[in-house]
Amino acid sequence: MASITFEGNSYRCDEGQSVLDVLLAQGVAAPHSCRSGSCQSCMMRVETGELPASSQAGIKETLRVQGYFLPCICRPGDDLTIARPDTDTMRLEATVSHVTALSDHVVCVGLSSQTPISYRPGQFINIFKDDATARSYSLASVPDMDGELRLHVRRFANGQVSTWIHDALRPGDRVRLSPPAGDCFYLPGQPEQPLLLIGTGTGLAPLYGIVRDALAQGHRGPIQLYHGSREPAGLYLVERLQDLAQRYANFRYFPCLSGSEVPDGFLPGRALDLALSHAPELSGWRIYLCGNPDMVKLARKRAFLAGASMREIHSDAFTHQAA
């Protein structure tokens, strides 16, 4: 017999009972549908205890390594503490170390914390302007390299949080964050696998983190990054990425411009179109997509139809709305 701890209460799980059975029998409003490990609508995360491997069947690897599992097919042998998958109710505190311009419209915000915040480059945090107002930003930093969290924030004319970050946030200010979440990050274990990363606007942030993370972890397969914008002013970190491409033979960087003005060194066209014209057959590739939601949606479909496996296509878990 195992015990299940959930939201502060402990329940007895008898031999053969699933975690979902236990929660529902106790009147917990746990989401569920197929009850056979297929639909994944009941997915939760384990905080302590050993999961039976079968309870993670079919779950994307990036979520599996974070302890996500399916309560409806989980018959635990060990005591478990489990949580709902969202982390919105939890808060961390950090200090602004700098707000640095990356382009006319984009700043990099550095955040440091006394207690180290564990994350993977490409995950996102929510930053709270006040109790009711938060926005999600992806992490462009790499823990061992940068020593602080870094976000790329684009100014939106009516964006409550982005204008606050651009105009009011100063070094030394304290801000509240949600713990890093999301499954858009690099996974070691297949160092030869080709990686394709496509981003528009500040969708570059997670990709910048993922690329540097992959290179630092010794990824040997080709890594191709396409960053797209309409105007040249919409691209940033261009020189930094060109330098990186000089240093690593397996990394290629393609700054793409879909507008009429295309200076030397930039590719004319949309990032997604260019990426797929260079790599029309994507079976065996791992794909990362970030930025404009319409681009991400279209890219998921086109990458999938070009042969990429659904499980190998990763994108931001949230949409970059006007923030």
Partner 1 sequence: MSNNLFDQIGGEPAVNVAVDIFYRKVLSDDRISHFFDDVDMERQAAKQKAFLTMALGGPNNYSGADMRRGHAHLVARGLNDSHFDAVMENLAATLQELNVPPELIAQAAAICEGTRNDVLGK
CB of 175 to partner 1, least distance (A): 31
**How far is C-alpha 5 from the chain's CA centre?**
28
Q: Is 77 in the site for partner 1 (CB under 8 A)?
A: no
CB of 126 to partner 1, least distance (A): 20
Q: Is 53 in the site for partner 1 (CB under 8 A)?
A: no
Q: Is 57 in the site for partner 1 (CB under 8 A)?
A: yes
Query: How many chain residues are in contact with partner 1, going by CB under 8 A?
Result: 18
Q: Binding string, 11-50, against partner 1, x = CB under 8 A?
A: -----------------------xxxxxxxx---------
CA atoms lying within 13 Å on the CB side of residue 266: 25
Q: Is 321 in the site for partner 1 (CB under 8 A)?
A: no
Question: Do residues 180 and 124 make contact, with C-beta atoms less than 8 angstroms apart?
Answer: yes
Question: Do residues 206 and 139 make contact, with C-beta atoms less than 8 angstroms apart?
Answer: yes
The three-class DSSP label of residue 233 is: helix
Residues 6+ apart with CB under 8 A from 5: 11, 79, 80, 81, 82
- C-beta of 237 vs 296, nearer to partner 1: 296
- SS3 string of 49-91? CCCCHHHHCCCCHHHHCCCEECHHHCCCCCCEEEECCCCCCCC
Task: Residue 311: name the closest of 295, 292, 287 by CA.
Answer: 287
d(CA 224, CA 287): 10
- C-beta of 305 vs 322, nearer to partner 1: 305
Question: Do residues 241 and 213 make contact, with C-beta atoms less than 8 angstroms apart?
Answer: no
CB of 285 to partner 1, least distance (A): 13
CB of 284 to partner 1, least distance (A): 12
d(CA 4, CA 182): 25
Q: Is 304 in the site for partner 1 (CB under 8 A)?
A: yes
Q: Is 309 in the site for partner 1 (CB under 8 A)?
A: yes
Q: Of the candidates 48, 86, 297, 321, which one interacts with partner 1 according to CB under 8 A?
A: 297
The residue written with tokens 């070009």 in the block is 306
- C-beta of 35 vs 84, nearer to partner 1: 35
Q: Of the candidates 98, 230, 252, 300, which one interacts with partner 1 according to CB under 8 A?
A: 300
CB of 34 to partner 1, least distance (A): 5
* Binding stretches for partner 1 (CB under 8 A): 34-41, 57-58, 297, 300-301, 304-305, 309-310, 313
